[in-house]
Amino acid sequence: MSDDRRVVPLDGCANFRDLGGYRTGDGRQLRWSRVYRSDGLHELSTADIRRLRQELGLRAIIDLRTPDEAGVEGPGSLADEPVRYHHVSLMNDARGTARRLPPGETFSMDRFYTAMLRDGMPQVRRVVELIAHAEGPAVFHCAAGKDRTGVIAAVVLSLVGVDETQIVADYALSQRAVEGIRARLLRSRGYERMWNELPPETLHAHPETMQRTLDGVRESWGSMQDYAVAAGIDADLTARLRDGLLEPV
């Protein structure tokens, strides 16, 4: 399976990808063209919207950005289409979770992600619920499509049974898009100052970052499945997610 098949080339996005094709421990496979991950959708061209609506059949958008981000940049023209738009902010502000790290802990991306999971349990549950109940192809996204989006992708892939090697590899694919993401964000009204204030680690999507995050989940909760239970994601919701995302047996 080529990683190039995952990438959906668009004029207004640098990191729009299909989560299909990943294998689970029981030998099943994620459906192609069922759930996507992306960076911000507010610069989509007319051709992009036509492709997403007519070719991909997109039916739902899950926006993980903060209220400030969504307010400044807007949801984008795709939200004007007959597509369900859901705003589920994974953080109150783009830097707040980093400031809530436990006393004495220095900033690192994996601690940032683990804090995001800890502080955002209700939001994570809501996103899983929206994906599980989507009536067609859905996309979840933040600004860069790598951090908040990467955390949600790790949760979703874990819950359907994808192994850590593939989860880490999926996260690391964002590294190829970092320069394009950075260029696009620096053109945006709401991101130039924020981007310049964030720690240098935020400019990367190294595989070891996601591996340390998954290790941190084990240390804090036991497993991603245990984390899901703590977040209120019960067995019925997990089963619905698996049934919706995985190819039939």
* Residue 140 β-bridge partners: 37, 62
pLDDT of residue 161: 98
* Mean local confidence (pLDDT), 193-220: 83
Ranked by mean pLDDT, which of 84-93, 135-144, 184-193 comes out on top? 135-144
Residue 249 covered by a domain: no
For residue 198, pLDDT over 90 is answered with no
Helix axes 164-172, 207-221, angle to 10 degrees: 140
* CA proximity to 135, closest of 61, 66, 79, 210: 61
Residue 126 covered by a domain: yes
pLDDT of residue 103: 63
Alpha-carbon span 89 to 105, nearest angstrom: 24
pLDDT of residue 98: 47
Q: Higher-confidence residue: 196 or 166?
A: 166
**Tokens read off for 120:** 């955002």
Strand 138-141 with 60-63, pairing: parallel
Catalytic residue among 131, 142, 154, 224: 142
Q: How far is CA 152 from CA 53, 194, 209, in A?
A: 23, 22, 15
Residue 225 covered by a domain: yes
* Domain region containing 125: 3-244
For the question of residue 13 being annotated catalytic, the response is: no
Domain count, the chain: 1
* Residue 103 β-bridge partners: none
* CATH (domain of 31): 3.90.190.10
Residue 100 covered by a domain: yes
Residue 191 covered by a domain: yes
Average pLDDT score over the chain: 89
Residue 183 covered by a domain: yes
- Please enumerate in sequence order all residues whose Cβ is within 8 A of that of 23, keeping only pairs 6 or more positions apart, or say none: 29, 162, 163, 166
pLDDT of residue 57: 96
- Encode pLDDT of 25-75 as tens digits: 999 999 999 999 999 998 999 999 999 999 999 999 999 999 988 887 778
Residue 156 covered by a domain: yes
Look up residue 90 and give its amino acid. L
Alpha-carbon span 67 to 82, nearest angstrom: 22
